[in-house]
Amino acid sequence: MSNDILIENGLLIPMTQGRPVIENSSVLISNGIIQDAGRAEIFSRYDVKTCIDAKGKIIMPGLVNCHTHLPMSMFRGFADDLPLDVWLNEHIFPAEAKQVNPETVEKWAYHSCTEMLLSGTTTCCDGYFYEENVVKAVAASGIRAVAGQGIIDFPAPGVPDPLQNINIAVDFVKRTKDRYANIYPSIFCHSAYTCSARTLIKAKSAASDLGVMFQIHAAETENEKNMVKEAGKSSIIEYLELTGVLDENTLLVHGVWIDDDDIELIKKAGAKVAHCPESNMKLASGIAPVTSLIERKVAVGLGTDGCASNNDHDLFGEMDTAAKLHKIALMDPCAMDAGTVLEMATIKGAEAIGLGSVTGSIEKGKKADIILVDTDKPHMNPMYNPFSALVYSAKASDVSLVMVGGRILVQNGKLL
Amino acid sequence: MSNDILIENGLLIPMTQGRPVIENSSVLISNGIIQDAGRAEIFSRYDVKTCIDAKGKIIMPGLVNCHTHLPMSMFRGFADDLPLDVWLNEHIFPAEAKQVNPETVEKWAYHSCTEMLLSGTTTCCDGYFYEENVVKAVAASGIRAVAGQGIIDFPAPGVPDPLQNINIAVDFVKRTKDRYANIYPSIFCHSAYTCSARTLIKAKSAASDLGVMFQIHAAETENEKNMVKEAGKSSIIEYLELTGVLDENTLLVHGVWIDDDDIELIKKAGAKVAHCPESNMKLASGIAPVTSLIERKVAVGLGTDGCASNNDHDLFGEMDTAAKLHKIALMDPCAMDAGTVLEMATIKGAEAIGLGSVTGSIEKGKKADIILVDTDKPHMNPMYNPFSALVYSAKASDVSLVMVGGRILVQNGKLL
């Protein structure tokens, strides 16, 4: 038991059923796994190698970022406040063609991992090209990640021949699976409007055979909805259901332009949703009906999206925005309460990306993906309600310690 | 010239006409006043008492928070995610009746000032009761403030007899005026639905006689609009125009439920607007037509509102939200570009609260209200466009130095 860590005397918000808040609590960790958590007095320091004082701090699960394109931090602020087509076709696509290569992918993916760790994120769900290089960066950083190799029916970085896109993704998954403790390979079809039905069917089938998550951008913009309709199809979600893509191992990213029938299909299939409010706002895509999805018990996680459309990986900011966006969208100040938002950013996010039994809450048997949040700054006081404090007041900079699988990666707000 | 300060070698964003961005720049300050700003090579260190190295940092004007209720930080997170009437009538009003007294007002106003300074705000525009105690806290903190004594036609903290509300406000202004270098007294009528026409007329007339800003919450909720309509009146703005309240020394707070005719009235009168996007979102009040106001050249500043409805005083977060909110509201990714938002939070905010010649930009003759923003953290890199970086990526915690009138109040991110 030489790897034991005891986090002591903090305000524990484990994000377990019933949303308990337990004062003066401790968490015991062995070999990177949470052994127990609860009132400090039940724990003995006997035989514990490392004690971490959490007095005056919140002990909570690390945040889960359900949608990233990690290497795209290289395009942070590169082209903002532009129409979507100009942004994509005149700026992002040409820049990607020029600048994206294995070296830049690895460099900027690592950069994004450091940004996420410093702001309290311990798990992300990524999709890009040269994903093998993303994986190298993720492994070097120590963060936990679902890593999806991108599939698109056009020549793409590292995939000059689209006919090879599925083979390349399958090879990526095979080479990556079970090779890294914290990395879960995945297949990411870009979208229904950039992948043929044949591609979607083959890619999903490969993902199922390999037992990995299937990710896809779905119903992000109104245009996309019209594209499918113009092709004689019904809604994007119905189209995905017809192609057999919808099941409990599929993560639908965005889900903005969906109606009640679509939500019913998503729920029936057990598919998951990644909600990216800041990206959807900044690109003026629309507002996803997230409260309806949650009402129907669909697992919805929170994502920042890539840095070209946000422009950061800060889930504390994203939580604040999510809580406020749905209130104004529904003209209901009770909508999207702080506790629900915090669930999206932790346990529901973990469930959404297929890691519900691994991370997202502090409970026995789960990986010790834990953060400590300082409560001493003026903006965190007074603290009547820790959920409100974390969602509406806390800043990324309040995160003082971050551990992934029991390994401390950030201490005193600095990367180790 | 013994008070000279030279800020050296930073990226200067003075927020002057044309939005220049000048690399490798310096700012010279004497007796709290900006003497000159521009390319570093034109400045000599000869005879300068203090040199501040701004290498790798942005030099910009301190942010201007156009709407606060400073003592209300005592109610931060006290009652969130509730319907507006329950929030106000069952929680905030009873809590105010119980907890608000001169001591708590001074204590929590000071607390709010520290929060603002630490997050790069050098000027605020406040309104509350016991405003004399707010002023003491403001003076102790060193921040610049317009301080408005509240007027409401009901018994209020420190004003048990509403018949005395105007006298008390007038006395406050007289006692405070010209007594503090950085404090500008003001009169704050709560709203058109809590102050009679007679009160509004008398209060505005007193403010005009005293030569101070007149503040009023206006058109915050749809209800408010209906209240005036039910009373046989036209719009709130038309009502305020009829009572003679609208002129260039009036700050309309919120301005959510206004139409084109209202905007025309505001523009004609030269009245100003404080936009509080996060408060309006959190309380589900609505979305102010800010882009239309700005198109018509109305001076619109940015405000956080009180901590009970936001829940912080972080203008960096507020800028990010403002930029994204109007994009999604108008379904236009070009709306509310980063430069426009930064103007709202600096020079336009200063103009909105009557301090356009005092603060809000870095130019010769203005008070040295200046902040330095670190650019070395992962979330600030790369930096293609400093306006984007400041609005979409920068955090309050990136502020490393804050000075008000040449007095350094925050250094290395810590309050002095």
Out of A33-47, A141-155, A244-258, B200-214, pick the least confident. A33-47
* Whole-angstrom distance, CA of residue A274 vs CA of residue A208: 20
Contact B111 A381 (CB under 8 A): yes
Cβ contacts of A284 on chain B, cutoff 8 Å: 327-328, 330-333, 335
A281 vs B81, B324, B378: nearest CB: B324
Say if CB A119 and CB A315 are below 8 A apart. Answer: yes
A312 vs B contacts (CB less than 8 Å): 379, 392-393
* Residue B406 CA from chain centroid, whole number: 20
Beta strands in A83-193, from DSSP E residues, in sequence order:
121-128, 144-151, 183-191
**Chain A residues closer than 8 Å to B283 by CB:** 327, 333
Q: Which of B81, B392, B396 sits opposite A80 (nearest CB)?
A: B392
pTM of the predicted structure, to 2 decimals: 0.97
- Tell me the average pLDDT across B102-124: 98
Nearest CA among B381, B56, B384, B385 for reference residue A73:
B381
What is the pLDDT at residue A17? 96
Mean pLDDT (chain B) is 95
Q: List chain B residues with CB under 8 Å of A118.
A: 377-378
- Tell me which of B70, B76, B291 to substitute to probe the interface with A (most A C-beta atoms closer than 10 Å): B76
- The distance of B77 to chain A (nearest Cα, Å) reads 6
Look at residue A254 and tell me whether its pLDDT is greater than 50.
yes
Smallest CA–CA separation between A394 and chain B, in Å?
9
Which residue would you say has higher pLDDT here, A28 or A225? A28
pLDDT at B228: 77
The backbone torsions φ and ψ at residue A414, rounded to the nearest 5 degrees and listed phi first, read -120, 145
Question: Does the pLDDT of residue B358 top 70, yes or no?
Answer: yes
Domain spans, chain A: 5-62+361-415, 63-352
Taking an 8 Å cut-off on Cβ atoms, the answer to whether B118 and A378 are in contact is yes
pLDDT at A3: 64
Looking up tokens 């017809």, which residue turns up? Answer: A242
Does B311 sit within 8 Å of A381, measured CB to CB?
no
Q: Which fold has domain A63-352?
A: TIM Barrel (3.20.20)
Dist. CA B201–CA B224, nearest whole Å: 19
CATH architecture of A5-62+361-415: Roll (2.30)
**B290 pLDDT exceeds 60?**
yes
Mean pLDDT of chain A: 95
**What whole-number percentage of chain A has pLDDT above 90?**
90
Return the residue of A nearest to B310 by Cα: A392
Q: Which CATH superfamily is domain B5-62+360-415 in?
A: Urease, subunit C, domain 1 (2.30.40.10)
Q: For position B3, what pLDDT does the model report? A: 65
- Which chain B residues have a beta carbon less than 8 Å from that of A112? 378
End-to-end CA distance of chain B: 24
Q: How far is B203 from chain A (nearest CA, A)?
A: 33
Give the mean model confidence (pLDDT) for residues B23-46.
91
A284/B328 Cβ within 8 A:
yes
pLDDT level of residue B88 (50, 70, 90 thresholds) = confident
Share of residues in chain A with pLDDT > 70 (%): 99
Sign of the alpha-carbon torsion through A310, A313, A317, A318: positive
